[in-house]
């Protein structure tokens, strides 16, 4: 989502802020801005629509005499993505500057009240209301003015505020949008994502919801909005700078696709117990009794994480015999969901900050479910608020379109299914075989990635098409959904994923000689059924791109193009069949000249509903 960086006490404030914004570019944004307070006590602001480099070029050699500033990358919610609406935003007298992630839901009523009291507004944003509200409450204490303002606000926020009236502090606060304070020699840093400050420090304190902090160059204090003093918990972040750089690849997405061999090794390292034919997942140990006794699991996720959850639902039901309900997190709490007394909910989120997933997890908890997390970011909100869970160990994922995190989520869900299965209905011999097949997956992923050139040539042939259909069955139906999503996200091509059998119930009307149809036709329990679906496509002159199992010669007679993956067991095939989907989307986007790592309109971590 939007990104926030702040610095106080350091002489190179502007360069720190700009570099921090660059570290946050992967989150997705449409404008950027910076505000500093100079030694004359004036707030200086520079803002630009577009990329951080546009802001950087405009600033040029600008080096104001300052040691305090805040900066922001905006993903537009209220108001067009232009220079006027870009953050930081100011009050009437230009003495308060504010950056904000989130949405102020009651901004309309607040704006009317403030306008009636003489405030004038320059932008179309909801955020500007906050700057004026702080101005209205200001009586010589910025910290208290911000606190009082937030008591009037409904919605989500992560904010950083500076004022020329008190140029020795940054005020930050959060509710539903992450913020952290970083300890750095000679000053302090604040950020919405530790990637922005990892060059300067690995020591951070995370704010919790409804907490507010006053940060100076030497120290900070944290309280709740209700004036309860908070004892901070210092955490050490472990981020390798090389992992958030391209490393010679043309795009982060391609780098992350190719990292999947290692990522899957990391996600299973130390977690396979061949002697007992099961998985070791320490984060679930406290809940083993509940996991044995439950008759209902709920999986919550959005977008790619939801599709990983669908695969997890198939796998857990087969291996453990537990009923699984996979829910769109964005819909879950609005439908008055039925949660049983012994239900267990897994919240899946790469960032651990996805607003809809977090809200759904909290709703499940309120209704009595044990809530567990499956996420990537240590110290994220879902990681902190869940009662336990499993990290996917995918490392930083910079490309907005998720690739390696999806695969790591699917693998972790397989590990969970193995653990549950062995505790419930899976035999020792079945468990040992499953462990062996999981162990083989990293090498099999590498063999698929080695065939990227073949997929690149297919992409060239179809890069001018504006519609695609993706078909799969069983475990691979969610992979069809994910493949279509990837193509939409980064190439802006309309694509739809369907269960292959559903194709004849409507989508078949779209098929003609111009329609490429990507079909997952691996040799599993529904192979013959999928061949029948391919025949239906060919009868309408559709072009078939098949994802098939190695040495399947029959499929070559039916498909226009075949991409092979190695043989494995049914429940692990998604870890292989998704790879051609990712590469196909990537190479089509390259051919179409799209912005691959930062697709238009998208954000990496969606922290608004």
| Residues classed as catalytic | 2, 604
What is the length of the chain? 609
Q: Is the peptide bond before 88 cis (omega within 30 degrees of 0)?
A: yes
Strand order in the sheet with 344-349: 323-328, 296-301, 344-349, 370-375, 389-391
The span from the CA of 243 to the CA of 195, in Å, is 10
Query: Of 526, 503, 530, 263, which is closest to residue 407 (Cα–Cα)?
Result: 263
Six token digits for residue 511: 């098929």
Q: What is the CA radius of gyration of the chain?
A: 25
- How many C-beta neighbours within 10 Å does residue 575 have? 26
**Dist. CA 38–CA 214, nearest whole Å:** 20
CA distance 110 to 103: 13
The CA distances from residue 606 to 176, 215, 232, 395, 540, in Å, are: 11, 26, 26, 19, 40
Q: For residue 174, what are the β-bridge partners? A: 158, 211
Residue 419: count of CB within 10 angstroms of its CB = 25
Up-side HSE of residue 313: CA atoms within 13 Å toward CB?
25
DSSP category for residue 258: H
Look at residue 382 and give its three-state secondary structure. Answer: helix
β-strands 516-521, 543-549 pairing: parallel
Nearest to 51, CA basis, from 68, 70, 26, 69: 26
Interior angle at CA 90, CA 85 and CA 96, nearest 5 = 155
499, with CB counted inside 10 A (0-12, 13-18, 19+), is middle
CA 364 from chain centre, in angstroms, equals 21
DSSP 3-state percent helix, strand, coil across the chain (nearest 5): 40, 25, 35
Angle, helices 574-591/428-449, rounded to nearest 10 degrees = 20
Provide the CA 159 distance to its chain's centre, in angstroms. 20
- Phi, psi values for residue 427, rounded to 5°: -75, 165
- Indicate left, alpha or beta for 601 from its phi (over 0: left) and psi (-120 to 50: alpha): left
The string of DSSP codes covering 487-556 is HHHHH--EEEEEEGGGGGGTGGGG-STT-EEEEEE-SSTTHHHHHHHHHHHHHTTPEEEEEEETT--GGG
User: What are the phi and psi torsion angles at 438 (to 5°)?
Assistant: -65, -40
């Amino acid at each position: 989502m939007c990104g926030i960086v702040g610095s106080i006490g350091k002489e190179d404030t502007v360069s720190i802020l700009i570099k921090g914004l660059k570290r946050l570019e992967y989150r997705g944004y449409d404008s950027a801005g910076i505000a500093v307070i100079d030694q004359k006590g004036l707030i200086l602001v520079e803002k630009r629509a577009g990329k951080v480099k546009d802001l950087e070029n405009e600033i040029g050699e600008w080096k104001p005499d300052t040691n305090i500033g805040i900066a922001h990358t905006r993903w537009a919610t209220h108001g067009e993505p232009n220079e006027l609406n870009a953050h930081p935003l100011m009050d009437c007298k230009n003495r308060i500057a504010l950056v904000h992630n989130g949405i102020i839901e009651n901004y309309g009523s607040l704006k009317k009240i403030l306008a009636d009291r003489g405030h004038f507004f320059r932008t179309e944003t909801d955020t500007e209301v906050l700057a004026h509200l702080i101005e209205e409450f200001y009586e010589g204490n910025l910290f208290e003015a911000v606190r009082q303002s937030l008591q009037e606000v409904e919605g989500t926020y992560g904010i950083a505020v500076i004022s020329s009236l008190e140029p020795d502090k940054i005020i930050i606060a959060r509710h539903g949008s992450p913020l952290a304070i970083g300890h750095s020699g000679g000053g302090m840093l604040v950020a919405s994502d530790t990637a922005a400050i990892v060059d300067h420090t690995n020591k951070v304190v995370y704010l919790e919801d409804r907490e507010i902090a006053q940060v100076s160059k030497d120290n900070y204090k944290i309280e709740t909005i209700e004036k309860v003093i908070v004892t901070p918990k210092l955490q050490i972040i472990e981020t390798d700078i090389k992992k958030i750089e391209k490393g010679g690849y043309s795009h982060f997405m391609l780098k992350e696709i190719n990292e999947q061999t290692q990522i899957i090794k990391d996600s299973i390292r130390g977690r396979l117990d061949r002697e007992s034919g099961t998985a070791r997942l320490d984060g679930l140990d406290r809940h083993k009794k509940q996991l044995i006794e439950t008759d209902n699991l709920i999986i919550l996720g959005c977008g790619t994480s939801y599709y990983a959850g669908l695969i997890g639902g198939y796998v857990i039901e087969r291996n453990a015999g537990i009923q699984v309900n996979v829910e769109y997190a964005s819909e879950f709490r609005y439908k008055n969901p039925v949660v049983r007394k012994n239900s267990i909910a897994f919240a899946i989120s790469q960032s651990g900050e996805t607003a809809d997933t977090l809200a759904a997890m909290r709703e499940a908890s309120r209704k009595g479910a044990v809530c567990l997390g499956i996420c990537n970011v240590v110290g994220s909100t879902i990681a902190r608020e869940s009662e336990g869970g499993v990290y996917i160990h995918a490392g930083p994922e910079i490309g907005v379109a998720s690739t390696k995190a999806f695969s790591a989520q699917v693998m972790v869900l397989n590990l969970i299914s193995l653990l549950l299965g062995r505790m419930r209905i899976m035999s020792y011999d079945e468990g040992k075989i499953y462990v062996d097949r999981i162990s083989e997956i990293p090498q099999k992923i590498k063999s698929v990635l080695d065939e990227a050139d073949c997929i690149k040539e297919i992409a060239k042939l179809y890069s001018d098409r504006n519609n695609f259909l993706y078909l799969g069955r069983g475990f691979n139906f969610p992979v069809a959904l994910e493949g279509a999503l990837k193509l939409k996200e980064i190439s802006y091509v309309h694509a739809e994923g369907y269960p292959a059998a559903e194709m004849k119930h409507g989508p078949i009307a779209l098929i003609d000689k111009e329609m490429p149809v990507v079909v997952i036709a691996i040799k599993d329990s529904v192979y013959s059924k999928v061949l029948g679906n391919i025949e239906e496509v060919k009868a309408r002159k559709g072009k078939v791109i098949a994802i098939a199992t190695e040495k399947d010669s029959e499929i070559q007679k039916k498909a226009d193009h075949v991409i092979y993956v190695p043989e494995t067991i049914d429940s692990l095939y998604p870890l292989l069949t998704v790879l051609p989907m990712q590469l196909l989307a990537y190479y089509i986007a390259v051919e179409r000249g799209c912005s691959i790592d930062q697709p238009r309109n998208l954000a990496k971590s969606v922290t608004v509903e």
